[in-house]
Structure 1
Amino acid sequence: MKKNIVLFSLFVLPIVAYLFFASGVNSFTKLPTITPKIADFGNWKSLNGKRVSLDKKITVLGFSGTDILKNRGNYFNLNEKIYKRYNGFEDLQFVVLCPLGTEVEAQKVVDALAPFTDVKGWNFVFASPEEIKTFYAQLHLKGKLDNGLGTPNVYIVDKERNLRGRKDKNEYKEGYDTFHPSELSNEMLDDFKIILYEYRAALKKNHNATKETFKS
């Protein structure tokens, strides 16, 4: 009897604990808000000439800067690790804010991605340098844009235009470095799953509430 208890403690309990925490990390956590209610975009046009809005969309937001082609590998990393996994989610958009005058370079990035993925969820939006600086400043982030108005980081913005990330005494993370695929595969993917879980839980709750209303 004692032998069985010892064996259970040594082998079974660790496996059960691992499975519990591995499956529960995203289900029982809410991703904190770094900056609430950020401004929407201005009347800035995307490559297809349409206006893009942050409202009612989960947005992965990036800032290309003037060196779009030089940093195109970052977009391939993001495409492989995050975009291709979730591009079927209709409430999701990927938006890259670019300086006016870089339209040709941005189109080349889209053309290079097209053979490997459905690029309809990629949006390259163009604004003046001053507009980009003003927009970035109101995000109230610790990180800064480089001299070309770009950063390798991307940010998660929820449907209510809250910029989300990690903000506790042990870890602060406002963005995810696209230069490092491992950061996208680990930290960003984990946080992105939390956001999706939040919305799925909210939809389920609203659906159940609607059903109860009809019953009443």
Structure 2
Amino acid sequence: MKKTVVLVILFVFPIVAYLFFASGVNNFGKLPVLTENVSDVSELDGSLVLDGKITILGFLGNDVNAKKGNAFNLNQKIYKRFGDFNDFQVIMVVTHGNEEKAAALKKELGELSEVDKWNFTFGSSEQIEDLFQSLGTNLSLDDNLATPYVFIIDKERNLRGREDDEDEGLKYGFDTTSVAELNNKMVDDVKIILAEYRLALKKNNANRSK
């Protein structure tokens, strides 16, 4: 019995540890910058900013009720997992006139988790189009100024994504209609960018203490 335990520790544990750390596509290296200097959401209603925050940015447009399922998928798979991290936020962009629908959606989400970092910002059609275009993606908004895709924006307002995704090659955003994509890809990439900032913070603290 003791020999079996020793063998498990010597051979099985290193393999399990390797698979865990290799589970992220980028192996917890830096997540590539795909677009620099994304427009700030402060240019919409002015109540929120991207600077200094790790942001999951989405576009619900006029389609708040139709995109409820997407919001719930994002909440369950991403927000509930990472919402406790400092400087993390979710921002959904909605057209003016949908404030009540957004408030109702936030209330529903609040029945499943804390929603203090779930935010909605409102703008005109032109403002929303301009913000989306600043992402510089190969995607587009639909006729309702909405998309099922969400985007990872870093603290310097850079769009982060994948340069060599196994399915898409250049990957700008994550499809919230696909639970598998959120589980298998977006979770890994959010882990990477959070680890990147934690490492940078540790290095800065170490340098200050010298």
TM-score, length basis structure 1: 0.85
Asked if 1:132 corresponds to 2:140, the answer is no
Q: From 145, 152, 159, give the equivalent of 1:156.
A: 152
Deviations 1:30-78 (A, max 9, x none): 1101101212124433xxxx71000000000000021111110111111
The answer to whether the aligner puts 1:62 opposite 2:72 as a matched pair is no
* Higher gyration radius (CA): 1
What does residue 204 of structure 1 align with? 202
Extract unaligned runs of 5+ from structure 2.
Answer: 1-6
1:188 aligns with 2:190: no
1:116 Cα deviation after fit? 1.4
Task: For residue 14 of structure 1, report the CA deviation from its aligned partner.
Answer: 8.1
For residues 1-216 of structure 1, what are the structure 2 equivalents within 5 Å?
Answer: 16-17=14-15, 19-26=17-24, 28-45=28-45, 51-168=47-164, 171-212=169-210
* AA matched with 1:111: K
User: After superposition, what is the alpha-carbon deviation per residue over 1:183-204, rounded to whole angstroms, capped at 9, x for unaligned?
Assistant: 1111000000000110010011
Give the aligned residue type for 1:99: T
2:80 counterpart SS class: helix
Deviation at 1:104, TM superposition (A): 1.3
The separation in 1 between residues aligned to 2:43 and 2:156, in whole angstroms, is 19
Q: Secondary structure at the match of 2:31?
A: coil
RMSD: 1.9
**Which segments of 5 or more consecutive residues in structure 1 lack a partner in the other structure?**
1-7
Task: Measure, in 2, the Cα distance between the counterparts of 1:63 and 1:28.
Answer: 27
Answer yes or no: is the 8 Å Cα contact 1:93–1:121 preserved in 2: yes
Q: CA deviation at 1:25?
A: 4.9
Query: Hey, what's the Cα distance between the residues in 1 that align with 2:23 and 2:107?
Result: 37
C-alpha distance in structure 2 between counterparts of 1:147 and 1:158, whole Å: 28
- Displacement of 1:207 after TM fit? 0.8
- Taking the aligned partners of 2:209 and 2:13, their CA distance within structure 1 comes to 39
Normalising by structure 2, what TM-score? 0.87
> In the comparison of the two structures, how many residue pairs are matched?
198
State the partner residue of 1:5.
none
Distance 2:115 2:107 in 1: 9
Paired with 1:20 and 1:110, the residues of 2 have a C-alpha distance of 39
Q: CA deviation at 1:129?
A: 0.1
Q: How many angstroms apart in 2 are the aligned matches of 1:169 and 1:44?
A: 32
Instruction: Supply the distance in 2 between the matched residues of 1:122 and 1:18 (Cα, whole angstroms).
Output: 35
**Percent of aligned pairs sharing the same letter:** 41
Residue type of the alignment partner of 1:172:
L
Whether the 8 Å contact between 1:129 and 1:149 is mirrored in structure 2 is yes
Secondary structure, counterpart of 2:116 in structure 1: helix
Question: CA separation in 2, counterparts of 1:106 and 1:91?
Answer: 22
Distance 1:177 1:43 in 2: 25
Q: Distance in 2 between matches of 1:28 and 1:67?
A: 35
